Structure 1
Amino acid sequence: MHIPDNYLSPTTCGTLLAAVTPVWTIAVIKVKAQIKKHHETLPMIGISSSLAFLIMMFNLPIPGGTTAHAVGGTLLAILIGPWAACLALTVTLLLQALLFGDGGILSFGVNVMNMAIIMPFVGYGCYKIGQKIRHEKLGIIIGSYLGINVAALIAGIELGIQPLIAHTNSGVPLYCPYGLNITVPAMLLAHLLVAGWVEVIFTLLVFKFVHRVAPKNIYQNSNNNHINWMYLLFGLAFLSPLGLIANNTAFGEWDNQELKQMLVKQHLSSQVPEGMINGFHFKALFSDYTIAGLPVSIGYILSAITAILIFSLLIRGFKNEK
């Protein structure tokens, strides 16, 4: 669901970046108030960012030859509230884009809209309804499943409208070459059949874990509580190479060479859209979570550990500033 650069027109990217900016502003205000009430919110944001990062490393094979992954958007909203989840996921997506090349720089606002705003708020709304009718677990299941699928639907629409809004005078797409009739079913198929259910499983398992380590209050200030979270995070980090089992590319995340091969094979075009060729190209330091000179699996583990350490240092820096 990480839309790369050049799949969307600059207008689309700019519009959605402008749309998410006031949400970030409100989130900062809300979270500042939350931190005053619960001081443990800040370290929990760091833990939650790491958790989301790790969850997204576990790619899953999808029928048709693509891949997808869970995100943890509803889970984070349940753990720390939707506004804090929005900020945690924003930081996660920023690190993924800048350091690991997962998701675009120009399309950052688009990915934030889908995974850091739509997903956690839809999921959290379902969870709260479940609580009100005294069926909390049902709210978790519906929220996590619906949250990721609504986000997938929106991503499919964002990709699919590109041939309609950005094309040459002769009607040739400048960016994503696939229309709504392809992008929406492809995104929904992957998430309705596979990623959505994995999202549910992750959410339920971690929710159960939380109730075991912090039965009274997620914000309880306990060294044992933090140690248990570290065990979970580093355990997931060492298991992250399992995500390499699905080695195909997710829909809408192909590089230009892969896309050209697909277009030729499908008899749609002999070349990649002009806007994708001449667009913005950013080379991340550890692209695709690999480290030069090391086996891919080791690079995956080190990338995961690096992310945990970066989030921990960022949160420590914010605490020291206070």
Structure 2
Amino acid sequence: MHIPDGYLSPQTYIPMYGIVIPLSIYAFKKAKKVLDEETLPLITSLTALSFIIMMFNIPVPGGTSGHAIGVAVIAILFGPWMAFLSTSLVLFIQAILFGDGGITSFPINTFSMGFLASFTAYYTFRILKGTLKDSLNAFISGWLSIVAASLAVSIFLGIQPLIASGPGGQPLFFPFGLKITIPAMVGSHILFFGIAEGIFTTVTLNFVRKIDPRFFSTVQIKAVKKRTLYIGLFTLFFIVLVPLGLLTENPAWGEWTSAHYQKILGFVPEGMQKFGGLYTAPAQDYGFKYLNSIASYYLSAVMGALLILLFFYVLYQLLYKKKNQFDRTFFLGYILVILLLTLSGNLYLLSFSLFTLFLLSGKTFFKLFKRAGAAILFFNSIVTVSYILLTYRTHTFSPHYVLLINLRTFTLTFATFLLIDKVNLFSVFSFSKTLTYAVTLSYSQILTFKRILGELRFALRSRIIRKPGKKEAYNFVSSSVYYFLNKSLSNSKEILQAMKSRGFNND
């Protein structure tokens, strides 16, 4: 049900971005009413389960496949806004990291599988509560939620020939109308995938009832011991089974290759050709280079679960202003971002990451932008010019590569300056006396050298009237480097002697 890029016209996804973004902001604000120390493990686990359950592709007659979405159980337990936020996070990770769902179609996927499915499940369960057993109620709520999502997706796809067609009436994007999309998509979800969603919702709710009955009672009772462990094991159980999603290679209905469209239609819609390859994810289709399909699928499931855990942990720290934990979480996120951007060669991902860092910088944007630019200007200029000279003669010059290395270097540098500006490194490493000592020592040396450099520059200006010439500037720089080198060596010897005198002897 994940609509790829190239299937929807700009007339569809641009307005939907305008709708989904405010809804997401509101859902983020509503999360504070739900997210606390008691609910954090369960919300995180259920969101991870939603990510994992979407990896279980179920083959159906007709050569297609589909999956459950796992949104109903979150909506029933924590409300539709929390479920919408959780599902949006899942769909975002799938689109950005694994190419499951498009960038242009993201708001439609989010609205259908996140917003509409969440509210359908939540209000269905509330309306039927008391008239049916909870298990049957949960099944119906889950079943109806995914059917509603499939109906929305089929409508978005089915209206494309009506709103986006060429001069000859040929569809520019998804080519099939409502008379085909609604029966094909909604029918399969009523008969197959809705049942899977209903079963998953029922089983998961019954499991939650056993490990933590508070969510089904108006009386606040003591939580079951080790419930976090049980929830984690429940999630791990599905991760272990995740290769079952590879048993079928059948695509979801409509998500066919260009060759298939050429075969059945005699042409490939222009929009699909133009925008179908708009974005290539780092681990496209849950695949990793040098790993087989099973190992790649396992790694994708674990990565998705860890990113969801990190997101909710950071969100919790932001909402409740726990500075020490926030610093450590921010630092961990920084390490993950560095690894991701270093491994990725996708300009869209780098650009999006840089834009996100700009937003996180807030009022310090201009200061950090200036610092990052100044820090890499000389190095990147040398590398870029050298590359151009070396490749120009061999006719192997690639503008894409030049843009990639410069954008990556600037993004990594900006992220580092943002970390220094936002995070107290002493707080990050406070769990270890050794690391705290190392950071303190390094920081004190940096401040000392910064002060001495300022004094040297002031001394230079005070001894000359005119602007220093090239020779004087060269002598100043070389003398300063020599001084700092000797100063570093002498300081290290003094620190070593001080440590030995206090009992630190080769420890």
**What is the 5 A alignment of 1:50-89?**
50-89=48-87
CA contact (8 A) 2:211 2:224 kept: no
Q: Which of the numbers 306, 309, 332 marks the counterpart of 1:309? A: 306
Deviation at 1:221, TM superposition (A): 6.3
Work out the CA distance in 1 between the residues paired with 2:160 and 2:238: 37
Aligned: 1:291 with 2:288: yes
Deviation at 1:74, TM superposition (A): 0.9
> Secondary structure of 2:59's partner?
strand
Work out the CA distance in 2 between the residues paired with 1:318 and 1:118: 24
Aligned: 1:179 with 2:181: no
- The sequence identity of aligned pairs, in percent, is 39
Deviation at 1:302, TM superposition (A): 1.1
Work out the CA distance in 1 between the residues paired with 2:139 and 2:254: 27
CA contact (8 A) 2:42 2:228 kept: no
Q: Which residue of structure 2 lines up, in the alignment, with residue 214 of structure 1? A: 212
Work out the CA distance in 1 between the residues paired with 2:147 and 2:317: 39
Work out the CA distance in 2 between the residues paired with 1:316 and 1:26: 19
Which stretch of structure 1 is more off in the superposition, 7-16 or 72-81? Answer: 72-81
Q: Which residue of structure 2 lines up, in the alignment, with residue 277 of structure 1? A: 273
Work out the CA distance in 2 between the residues paired with 1:121 and 1:224: 31
Uncovered stretches (5+) of structure 1, i.e. residues with no partner: none
CA contact (8 A) 2:5 2:278 kept: yes
Rg larger for: 2
CA contact (8 A) 2:288 2:296 kept: yes
Which stretch of structure 1 is more off in the superposition, 203-212 or 125-134? Answer: 125-134
Work out the CA distance in 1 between the residues paired with 2:105 and 2:40: 27
Task: Please provide the CA RMSD for this pair.
Answer: 1.8
CA contact (8 A) 1:27 1:86 kept: yes
Deviation at 1:318, TM superposition (A): 2.7
Deviation at 1:34, TM superposition (A): 2.7
Structure (1/2) with the larger helix percentage: 2
Q: Which residue of structure 1 lines up, in the alignment, with residue 91 of structure 2? A: 93
Q: Could you tell me the TM-score, scaled by structure 2's length? A: 0.59
Q: Which residue of structure 1 lines up, in the alignment, with residue 242 of structure 2? A: 240
Aligned: 1:25 with 2:22: no
Q: Which of the numbers 220, 226, 229 marks the counterpart of 1:227? A: 229
> Secondary structure of 1:61's partner?
strand
1:245 partner amino acid: L
Provide closer, same or farther for how the CA distance between residues 101 and 221 of structure 1 changes in structure 2, counting only shifts above 3 A.
farther
Uncovered stretches (5+) of structure 2, i.e. residues with no partner: 322-507
CA contact (8 A) 2:135 2:206 kept: no
Deviation at 1:105, TM superposition (A): 0.6
Work out the CA distance in 1 between the residues paired with 2:192 and 2:232: 28
Q: Which residue of structure 2 lines up, in the alignment, with residue 16 of structure 1? A: 16
How many residues end up aligned between the 2 structures? 314
Deviation at 1:292, TM superposition (A): 1.5
Q: Which of the numbers 28, 41, 44 marks the counterpart of 2:42? A: 44
Which stretch of structure 1 is more off in the superposition, 99-108 or 279-288? Answer: 279-288
Provide closer, same or farther for how the CA distance between residues 189 and 313 of structure 1 changes in structure 2, counting only shifts above 3 A.
same
RCO comparison, higher one (Cα < 8 Å, 6+): 1
Work out the CA distance in 2 between the residues paired with 1:315 and 1:221: 21
CA contact (8 A) 2:42 2:231 kept: no
Runs of 4+ in 1 over 6 A off after TM superposition: 218-223
Residues 212-246 of structure 1: per-residue CA shift (max 9 Å, x gap): 11123489766611111111112111100101112
Residues 240-263 of structure 1: per-residue CA shift (max 9 Å, x gap): 010111211001222333433xxx
Work out the CA distance in 1 between the residues paired with 2:271 and 2:296: 32
**What is the 5 A alignment of 1:158-169?**
158-169=156-167
**What is the 5 A alignment of 1:125-204?**
125-133=123-131, 135-204=133-202
Work out the CA distance in 2 between the residues paired with 1:138 and 1:274: 46
**What is the 5 A alignment of 1:92-131?**
92-131=90-129
Which stretch of structure 1 is more off in the superposition, 169-178 or 208-217? Answer: 208-217
Work out the CA distance in 1 between the residues paired with 2:94 and 2:261: 22
1:306 partner amino acid: M
> Secondary structure of 1:170's partner?
coil
Residues 165-201 of structure 1: per-residue CA shift (max 9 Å, x gap): 1001110000001111211111012211110101111
Deviation at 1:134, TM superposition (A): 5.3
CA contact (8 A) 2:158 2:178 kept: yes
Which stretch of structure 1 is more off in the superposition, 6-15 or 245-254? Answer: 245-254
Residues 103-122 of structure 1: per-residue CA shift (max 9 Å, x gap): 01111100011000111110
> Secondary structure of 1:216's partner?
helix
CA contact (8 A) 1:5 1:281 kept: yes
CA contact (8 A) 1:44 1:80 kept: no
CA contact (8 A) 2:47 2:308 kept: yes
Residues 270-292 of structure 1: per-residue CA shift (max 9 Å, x gap): x2111111126110111111111
Work out the CA distance in 1 between the residues paired with 2:17 and 2:289: 33
Q: Which residue of structure 2 lines up, in the alignment, with residue 2 of structure 1? A: 2
> Secondary structure of 1:248's partner?
coil
Q: Could you tell me the TM-score, scaled by structure 1's length? A: 0.92
